[in-house]
Amino acid sequence: MMITQGVRDYAAEQNSDSYLAGVGVRRETPPEARGNAEEGMEEMSRRYKEKGERLYLPEEEVD
């Protein structure tokens, strides 16, 4: 079935070692906006690492 194959393909992409968030950006973002999107992801990655790689922060640490 086509739906089943689509689910398998999606799961394989999610579970592959080469899967990056940027894959979706390149596929879904217009070429003229890709640079800004990738810069934004790099900035958020840097901020995440600076904050100790924690998703949830105390309110006083949020900027």
pLDDT one-digit tens code per residue, 7-32: 888 877 776 555 455 555 556 678 88
Residue 15 is assigned to a structural domain of this protein:
no
Determine the pLDDT at residue 45. 92
The domain tally of the chain equals 1
Determine the pLDDT at residue 27. 65
State which residues form the domain around 37: 21-47
**HSE of 32 in the Cβ direction (CA atoms, 13 Å)?**
0
C-alpha triplet 24, 28, 29: angle, nearest 5°: 105
Residue 55 is assigned to a structural domain of this protein:
no
Residue 60 is assigned to a structural domain of this protein:
no
Angle between helices 21-28 and 31-50 (to 10 degrees): 160
Determine the pLDDT at residue 7. 84
